[in-house]
Structure 1
Amino acid sequence: MLRFFRQIRQRLITDNKFSKYLLYAVGEIALVVIGILIALQVDDWAKRKDLKAIENQTYAVLLTSLRKDSLELVRIIDIQYKSLNAQNTLINSSAKELLDKNTSQQISELIFDVHNGVYSFFPKYGTYNSLVSNKGIDLISSEKIKSDLIDLYDYLCPRYENVDDVNDKKFQNVLIPFLQREIGFYVTSDFEITIIDPDRFEEAFAELQLQCGNVNFLTTNSIFGLKNIQERVNLLIKEIESQRKK
């Protein structure tokens, strides 16, 4: 092809057809420029395709992490609601009412639900932290997804963890030792529970109500924080799934 063009140029020069040669030269330059532009567009298209593939891989990893968090949030919120309801039952009842209407086994299960308010949610920061540290978050084209990820992991999760830390200390250092010391209630490593003694339960009931009151506000705040996280996690899952279909 190059030889063909060279022959045309030589023929025009030999025939002293300068104007036609000039016109031909301009045309040849235009063809070269068009060729370069096409090559750049192809290269740009290939790069965009590669970046989209990497972005989709990033979304896939995020979805796996977020879906696990979503399932865990359902479990922990359910446990904490049971704890809150059990706390309210003890706060709003008398020892006599509870002992008249329930067996020792049932009361032990009620206390077990209170005890389980100690359970915490641990967000999976690994994928997000890896994206941030490796600037992988810049590969995400959706500004909404980036904004929601940052809000989730840099604000909502740390905010919940602050509340959870106070809640955990109140349960671990005060409520659970009280249940063991005054009521004789224990939970084994196999999640078997001690059946309470009705007399010990009645004697310690006033203090038990006070202890439930102390953790009640913290448990409520913990659930509020978890539901905010759950809402954002589920929203992100929908946003990412929608973005992957484009």
Structure 2
Amino acid sequence: MIKLFRKIRQNLLNEGKTTKYFKYAIGEIVLVVVGILIALSINNWNEEHKEQNKLLNIYSLIYNDIEDDIEDLQKNVDFFNEKKSVFEKVVHDSITPDLLDQGLSSLLVYSPRSLLNKKGISQLGELQENDTLTFYLNDIYEHMETIMLPLENRISNEIIDHKKYVRDNYDWYPEWNNTITQNVGSKELHDYFLTSSIYRNRVVFVYEQVYNDYVRMLNALIKSLTHFKQEIGEILTKAE
């Protein structure tokens, strides 16, 4: 093709058709420029298509991450909701022996901890997207990392501190590793959970942390995450 253009230009010069030569040269330049623009346009489209596919793959990953996080947060809510009635009886100073059969001695034994799935969010951050969805996704995960997780740590640390206190001050501590009911456990062990102001005060403190702050926060987070999961699901469905 280049040889053909060159031959045409040479013939025009040899024939002395300078005006036609310049017109042809200009046309040739325009043709080359158009070709370059088309090539750039195709290249840009290919790059945009690659970026779009990459974004969709990340959205798919985030969708699964959110699904797992919602499930984990809901398990934590369910864990504490199952204990709430016993917690409230302690808080309202309505402790009776039958509460031993309902888990009175296990209120300060364990607190669930969350492990956030942030692989998709991290990859989204690397793309440096500035859209509204990206902003809110980053915001909610930052909230969970900077507020929710530290609150979980405080609750867990309070429970661990109480266990250490019992370990260092009561001979019946080894019994506490078993299920304690009205018919299981020593009198000294029963008296601690039924009458100790130390135990009640610690339970009240954990109750305030869990039900006034933590569970409420989880319910709000689950609602928000469910919304974002649906929004991402719609994006992925449209792209199919």
TM-score band by shorter chain is 0.7 to 0.9
1:111 to 104, 110, 134: 104
2:161 to 158, 173, 181: 173
Note the residue ranges of structure 2 that are not aligned, 5 or more in a row.
none
User: Which amino acid letter does the alignment assign opposite residue 194 of structure 2?
Assistant: F
Partner Cα separation in structure 2 for residue 234 and residue 120 of structure 1: 20
CA contact (8 A) 1:12 1:20 kept: yes
Post-superposition shift, 1:51? 1.3
Report the TM-score, using the length of structure 1 for normalisation. 0.77
1:205 maps onto 2:194 in alignment: yes
Which one of the candidate residues 134, 141, 155 is aligned to 1:146? Answer: 134
2:181 counterpart residue number: 195
Gaps of 5+ in 1: none
Q: Secondary structure at the match of 1:118?
A: coil
Shift of 1:124: 2.7
Query: 8 Å contact 1:163–1:222 — kept in the other structure?
Result: yes
2:222 pairs with 1:230: yes
Q: Distance in 2 between matches of 1:195 and 1:168?
A: 24
Deviations 1:176-206 (A, max 9, x none): 8659959977355xxxx23234966467424
Matched-pair identity in %: 17
Distance 2:143 2:192 in 1: 44
- Backbone CA RMSD of aligned residues: 3.1
Amino acid at match of 1:168: S
Q: CA deviation at 1:117?
A: 6.0
* Matched residue, 1:9: 9
CA positional deviation for 1:67 = 1.4
SS at match of 1:186: helix
What is the deviation of 1:31? 0.5
Q: Does structure 2 retain, via aligned residues, the 8 Å contact 1:108–1:194?
A: yes
Residues of 1 paired with 2:16 and 2:229: CA distance?
72
- Structure 1 counterpart of 2:149, one-letter code: E
Residue 37 (structure 1) shift: 0.2
The equivalent of 2:74 in structure 1 is 74
The answer to whether the 8 A contact 2:105-2:180 is kept is no
> Equivalents in 2 of 1:117, 1:37: separation in Å?
66
CA distance in 1, matches of 2:105, 2:233: 39
* 1:199-240 Cα shifts (integer Å, max 9, x gaps): 664674243443321211111212123233323332332232
Greater alpha carbon shift after TM alignment, 176-185 vs 153-162: 176-185
Q: Contact (CA 8 Å) 2:109, 2:159: kept in 1 or not?
A: no
- Distance in 2, Cα, partners of 1:11 & 1:156: 76
Q: Does 1:241 align with 2:228?
A: no
Residues 76-113 of structure 1 deviation map (CA, whole Å, 9 limit, x = unaligned): 11112223332013333634xx44xx5xxx74333266
Cα deviation, residue 148, structure 1: 1.9
Matched residues in 2 for 1:14 and 1:163: separation?
A: 88
Instruction: Give the counterpart letter for 1:139 in structure 2.
Output: L
Q: How many residues are aligned here?
A: 230
Conserved 8 A contact 1:83-1:116: no
Distance 1:182 1:81 in 2: 32
Deviation at 1:32?
A: 0.4
